[in-house]
């Protein structure tokens, strides 16, 4: 059983999805300290993980292999102070923000991982999820490896370190290790004199290169480049391994890269996870969400007076629905910006609702109106029914729910927190039954055939909707035990 919050033995399952993490790497060829810039980059990626974060840096002109690092549980602005950042002296570094599941939410599992071995040191940050992590971990344990964490990122780090002993370069060691691991991974790796980025052959998770003056960056999302004033250079291609160094600049040795498979980008990067001001593999996320709303209006029209989005991820799709349908777009919800990742959750008998703490309805906007409510997904349904109820209590005559993704029917094994089938509201239920559960007047989902269109025709993974995964899932479901 997976859960995000465990309170005194009682498991709670929030009705929202989570991305597993974000990565940020930087190398300043002029020798300037990078920690403060990495901090702001992680701040821009905070939406990808809110439980822990960390930064590791090294001075390429100093002692070979000396790494300074700091990581802890909490948000970026909670973990790092000016005093801590000033102590992290170095011109090359990697940073990480992480979301985890119950049982693995510990400081030891925070990243980046720093590994000391016979060839020096490695700093590693990972976004994704391996499907053969348990197999590789057991193999390493039987040859004497001692693990300090329960995350599969440490398995990757160990394999890179072992391959480095018989490789001529660290990028060759990364390539050899990547041929052993299976699943989703976008990696940023810091060696004593190089910054390396690697993306799995399917391209599940995004990874981009940026440049500012003499500094280079490898990041999960382009919005992080905008935040620190860097120019986007290009995306790292599926299966590609990129090396950044003062001697060679940006290098990509095709002999070391993995053969791209049938590309399978996580469609939820476009629907929900990525910030709307991000561009992934040439496709603007904001425009993707606008198109999802337009498709909903084309395929599932309804007569109404107002279109509203559930903040924040439903807003762009709601605007697209309004643009296509001609129904006015408006604001129906006020979001409490100060509700962080942890607030005291009321008990079942309490009148307070976690949804009401986060959202309040503008009665004047919806009273007496037929409302189209756009949201990005329905997972367990516990949030959707409360929001529909709130709208009707505020005077909405009708509430028509439109979802900018298809129904969830299968779990995810590649780094998205989609639970097992029995916990999914759409499992073994028709759309009409789901409509009754959430109390909507009508309900419609985005059609499956629209997904490639909203992703600009790129290859996508839609396994959580269809059960057709780009690779065979693991026989043992270890998602709650070995996660980034």
d(CA 372, CA 218): 40
Q: Where is 398: in which H helix or E strand?
A: strand 398-403
Q: Tell me whether the omega of the peptide bond preceding residue 112 falls within 30 degrees of 0, making it cis.
A: yes
d(CA 38, CA 94): 7
d(CA 444, CA 471): 29
DSSP 44-90: HTGGG--SEEEEEEE-TTSSTT-EEEEEEES-HHHH--HHHHHH---
Residue 41 CB neighbours (<10 A): 30
d(CA 181, CA 163): 13
Contact 174, 405 (CB under 8 A): no
DSSP 174-212: HHHHHTT--EEEEEEEE-SS-EEEEE-TT--S--EEEEE
Q: Tell me whether the omega of the peptide bond preceding residue 312 falls within 30 degrees of 0, making it cis.
A: yes
Instruction: Indicate which residues carry an active-site annotation.
Output: 21
Question: What value does the CA radius of gyration of the chain take, rounded to a whole number of Å?
Answer: 23
DSSP 402-415: EESSPPP-S--SSS
Q: Note the Cα 410 to chain centre separation in Å.
A: 18
The closest of 154, 177, 155 to 165, measured between CA atoms, is 177
Whole-number Cα distances in Å, 158 to 133, 136, 139, 398, 443: 12, 10, 11, 57, 48
The closest of 344, 110, 332, 94 to 220, measured between CA atoms, is 94
Q: Where is 437: in which H helix or E strand?
A: helix 431-438
DSSP state, 285? H
Q: Note the Cα 289 to chain centre separation in Å.
A: 17
């Amino acid at each position: 059983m997976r859960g995000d919050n465990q309170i005194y033995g009682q498991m709670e399952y929030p009705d929202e999805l989570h991305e597993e993490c974000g990565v940020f790497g930087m190398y300043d060829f002029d020798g300037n300290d990078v920690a403060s810039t990495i901090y702001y980059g992680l701040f821009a990626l905070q939406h990808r993980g809110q439980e822990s974060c960390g930064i590791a840096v090294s001075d390429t002109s100093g002692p070979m292999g000396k790494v300074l690092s700091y990581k802890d549980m909490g948000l970026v602005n909670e973990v790092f102070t000016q005093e801590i950042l000033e102590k992290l002296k170095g011109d090359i570094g990697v940073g990480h923000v992480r979301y985890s599941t119950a049982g693995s939410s510990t400081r030891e599992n925070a990243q980046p991982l720093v590994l000391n071995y016979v060839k020096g040191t490695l700093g590693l940050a990972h976004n994704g999820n391996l499907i053969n992590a348990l197999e590789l971990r057991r193999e390493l344990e039987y040859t004497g490896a001692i693990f300090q964490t329960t995350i599969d990122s440490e398995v990757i780090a160990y394999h890179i370190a072992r391959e480095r002993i018989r490789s001529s370069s660290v990028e060759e060691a990364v390539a050899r290790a990547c041929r052993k691991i299976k699943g989703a991974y976008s990696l940023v790796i810091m060696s004593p004199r190089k910054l390396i980025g690697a993306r799995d052959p399917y391209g599940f998770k995004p990874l981009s290169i940026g440049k500012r003056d003499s500094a280079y960056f490898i990041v999960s999302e382009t919005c992080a480049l905008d935040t620190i004033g860097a120019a986007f250079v290009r995306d790292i291609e599926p299966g590609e391994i990129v090396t950044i160094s003062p001697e060679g600049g940006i290098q990509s040795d095709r002999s070391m890269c993995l053969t791209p498979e049938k590309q399978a980008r996580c469609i939820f990067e476009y629907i929900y996870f990525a910030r709307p001001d991000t561009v992934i593999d040439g496709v603007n996320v904001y425009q993707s969400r606008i198109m999802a709303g337009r498709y909903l209006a084309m395929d599932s029209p309804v007569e109404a007076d107002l279109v509203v989005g559930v903040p924040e991820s439903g807003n762009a799709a709601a605007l697209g629905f309004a643009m296509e349908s001609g129904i006015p777009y408006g604001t129906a919800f006020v979001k409490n910006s100060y509700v962080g990742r942890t607030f005291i959750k009321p008990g079942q008998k309490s009148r307070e609702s976690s949804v009401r703490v986060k959202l309040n309805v503008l009665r004047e906007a919806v009273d007496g109106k037929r409302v189209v409510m756009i949201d990005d997904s329905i997972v367990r349904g516990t949030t959707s029914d409360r929001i529909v109820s709130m709208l009707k209590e505020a005077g909405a005559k009708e509430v028509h729910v439109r979802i900018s993704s298809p129904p969830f029917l299968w779990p995810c094994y590649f780094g998205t927190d989609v639970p097992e089938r029995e916990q999914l509201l759409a499992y073994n239920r028709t759309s009409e039954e789901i409509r009754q559960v959430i109390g909507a007047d009508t309900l419609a989902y985005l059609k499956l055939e629209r997904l490639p269109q909203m992703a600009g025709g790129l290859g996508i993974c839609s396994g959580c909707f269809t059960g057709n995964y780009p690779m065979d899932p693991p026989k043992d479901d270890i998602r709650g035990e070995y996660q980034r």
